[in-house]
Amino acid sequence: MIRVMIIEDDPMVLEINSKFLRKVEGFSLAKAATNLQDAKDFILKNKVDLILLDVYLPKENGMDFLKWLRQEDVLIDVILITADKTVDRVQEAFRFGAIDYLIKPFTFTRFKEALNLFKDRYANFKSQETIDQSQLDRMILNSTFTTEDKTDIPEKGFNKYTYKKIWNFIEKEHDDYFTAEDLSETLGVARVTIRKYLEYMEKEKKLEKLIEYGKIGRPQHKYRVNQNI
């Protein structure tokens, strides 16, 4: 479970962000802080993986907190959530290591995408000691995916981000047949989840499916990009 701290002084916004967080699988609220000192005190004694940080707090500035994290070499990722939409502020946030920037008011969809992108990167980094260029490129390219993407996932239980991640990898890496197991191992996504999306892509005519029957065990389902698209 990824432990999250929310730093926000507005009780209503804090409640909304906390409610959003509870709706995203794999995350838990470790601390809701309304001022920077409380946040620092908690961080120095407790494990936190991600901070959702407001910029404007009473007599305080969230950017000062972000700079403090970097100066003290505190290894926690930060997503800024603020009404400040000035270019200078956005640039400053990224220069000091923010991984995303959400401008109030934002939708739950955009919030969820930001957290899922973090979760994917977090899982990839924890699962291996080294990373090759193609894996790193996929992580960087995925980080540019936003709600402007027009991929339509009408079926209940499907996530647009997960769909895009799987399809981008298939297009880039696979010219021949592959299995759900192949993708699961590389992408770090559960095999049963991968298979669900592959079946959906076959319905869309994006993939062709080949069923191989062995002498024992279940038949193996293999997929490849539809050669007619």
CATH number of 192's domain = 1.10.10.10
> Does residue 41 lie in a domain region?
yes
CA distance 76 to 43: 9
Find the helix or strand (DSSP H, E) in which 137 lies.
Answer: helix 133-142
Residue 90 pLDDT greater than 60, yes or no: yes
Instruction: Extract the tokens encoding 222.
Output: 């293999």
The confidence score (pLDDT) of residue 19 equals: 95
> Does residue 131 lie in a domain region?
no
Our count of domains for the chain comes to 2
Q: Within this chain, do residues 110 and 8 fall inside the same structural domain, yes or no?
A: yes
CA distance 180 to 221: 8
What mean pLDDT is reported for the chain? 86
CA distance 50 to 38: 16
Instruction: Extract the tokens encoding 188.
Output: 């770090």
Beta-carbon count within 10 A of 174 CB: 15
Amino acid type, 177: Y
The helix-helix angle for 11-22 and 108-127 (nearest 10°) equals 60
Q: Within this chain, do residues 161 and 115 fall inside the same structural domain, yes or no?
A: no
> Does residue 135 lie in a domain region?
no
Q: Tell me: the pLDDT tens digits for 129-183?
A: 887 776 676 666 555 444 444 455 555 567 777 888 888 888 887 778 999 998 8
* pLDDT-based confidence at residue 71 (cuts at 50, 70, 90): very high
Give me the domain span that covers residue 55: 2-125
Q: Within this chain, do residues 21 and 86 fall inside the same structural domain, yes or no?
A: yes
Residue 192 pLDDT greater than 80, yes or no: yes
Question: Mean pLDDT throughout 30-48?
Answer: 96
The confidence score (pLDDT) of residue 147 equals: 41
Q: Within this chain, do residues 105 and 161 fall inside the same structural domain, yes or no?
A: no
Question: Mean pLDDT throughout 39-53?
Answer: 96
Q: Within this chain, do residues 16 and 84 fall inside the same structural domain, yes or no?
A: yes
**Edge-to-edge strand ranges of the sheet holding 50-53:** 27-33, 2-7, 50-53, 77-82, 100-103
104: domain CATH number is 3.40.50.2300
Q: Within this chain, do residues 117 and 155 fall inside the same structural domain, yes or no?
A: no
Q: Within this chain, do residues 156 and 116 fall inside the same structural domain, yes or no?
A: no
The confidence score (pLDDT) of residue 9 equals: 93
Of 79, 110, 125, the residue at which a domain comes to its end is 125
Residue 76 pLDDT greater than 60, yes or no: yes
Q: Within this chain, do residues 121 and 155 fall inside the same structural domain, yes or no?
A: no
Of 125, 157, 187, the residue at which a domain comes to its end is 125
Find the helix or strand (DSSP H, E) in which 211 lies.
Answer: strand 207-212
